[in-house]
Every structure is written in C-alpha cells, then in structure tokens.
Amino acid sequence: MSRARAVSTVLLACTGLLLSGCQNSPLGSTAVGGVLGCIGGAAIAAGTGGHPGTGCAIGAALGAPTGYYVGRQKDLESARQAKAAIERQSGDVAVVQLKTRQEAVPADKRNDVGAASVESVDSMQVNVPQTLVKKRDQRLKQPLSQVGNYVSSASSKANIVVTTRSKSDFNYIVTNIKKGYTGKVSPDKVTYEYRELTRGTQSAIQVMPSAQA
C-alpha cells in the first residue's frame, strides 16, 4: 500500500470514529482528542517519511488527555448557558444553582493541556415550586427542556436526582427533561433517581456529571 493510500485509510478511519457519535459517549471528549491527534500524527509522519500508523498512535496518545479536559471546559460553558437561558426565560418559576470544582491535571499532562487544573461542573440544581409540578404548569417545560439539552449534549455521563412528592411527579419531570434531548441519547448516558420530597415546597432537579469522562 502506498503512503498516500495509507494516510487516506487512517484519515477515513478517524473520521468514521467522529461521525459515529463518539463525542457523545462517556469517553467522547477523550476519543475526539485522540482522533484529532491521530490525524495530525499520521499527516506529520507521512510528510516526513515516517509510518502513518505510528504517527497516528503517537498523536492519539498526546491528543486524548487534551480532549478530555477541553471536554470538561466545554461542558461547563454549556451548563452556564443553560443556567442563563433558564434565568432569562423562566426566572419566575425556576432557580438555578451551578457549582464548579477544580479538576487537577496530572503532572505529565500539564504541558499538553496548558494548565495545572481546569474548572469543571460539580453539579447543577434547578428548583421549581412543587405546586406548579402538581398542576403540570406549562411554564415548567422550558427549564426542564434546558436541563435535557445540557445533559444530552455534554461529553460526560450524568445522574439526575429528582426530589419531588410522588412517582407521578417524577415521571412528569423526567418526561419533560427528555423532550429537550438533542439527538439520540443512550440510557446509560443519562440516568435518573427518584427521591421523595418529605418537606419543603420546592421540587429539585440535581444534575451530577460523572467524575470520569
């Protein structure tokens, strides 16, 4: 096989990974970083007389950690956008709390990432009045769909804990979150947990991203 054909094969394989939806999998951001590194490594190797396959492997190893941390930062930006949209459009019926944390970058990856740590999402919680949940108030659809949009497009898994009065209310909230999904979402990417609201007047939707991508 000629070098040009080998490079084409590598590029097609890498592109296939991207188009297969790997960026939305639990390892999505790492995979995308690896794929981009593979493409760059293969191209450099071919241009300098090296073996494209070896260049791909080296580039993937270097690109994967960068992709992971870039993914964490993009997820944080998406969470901030979701928070802003809810506050702008549904501030009268929903209150959003976004907590972040600093995620340490391993010492041997800091040069690739360009930082010793990155800020990432710790949790996002949306509180809505239980009385509106009970009434199935139409105003709740927007904030709930925004939650769905965020978790479905994020690069990491998420567990959503819904604290509300009854299983019926839980099902109503989950259904409206799912209506905000963008694209197909596998059942293991976003999971739901019901907790009974025993006191207070607010139903809570708490999104907790997986610690691992």
Q: How far is CA 144 from the centre of its chain?
A: 17
DSSP code per residue over 44-104: HHHHTTS-HHHHHHHHHHHHHHHHHHHHHHHHHHHHHHHHHHHHHHHTTT-EEEEEEEEEE
What pLDDT was estimated at residue 90? Answer: 97
Q: What secondary structure letter does DSSP report for 100?
A: E
List, for residues 154-177, the tens digit of each pLDDT value.
999 999 999 999 999 999 999 999
Owning domain of residue 29:
3-68
Among residues 202, 166, 197, 160, the alpha carbon closest in space to that of 180 is found at 160
Across the range 131-143, mean pLDDT stands at 98
Number of compact structural domains in the chain? 2
List, for residues 15-64, the tens digit of each pLDDT value.
444 444 444 433 444 454 444 445 544 444 455 555 555 545 544 444 45
158 with 191, same domain? yes
Token readout for 213 is 């991508």
List, for residues 55-104, the tens digit of each pLDDT value.
455 444 444 557 788 888 899 999 999 999 999 999 999 999 999 999 99
Secondary structure class of 99 (helix, strand, coil): strand
Among residues 202, 58, 76, 182, the alpha carbon closest in space to that of 140 is found at 202
- Identify the CATH number of the domain in which residue 169 sits: 3.30.1330
57 with 104, same domain? no
48 with 94, same domain? no
128 with 32, same domain? no
20 with 119, same domain? no
63 with 92, same domain? no
88 with 145, same domain? yes
The model carries a pTM of: 0.71
pLDDT above 90 covers a percentage of the chain that reads 58
62 with 82, same domain? no
What pLDDT was estimated at residue 1? Answer: 54
160 with 204, same domain? yes
Burial 182-202 (b: 16+ CB within 10 A, else e): eeeeeeebbebeeeebeeeeb
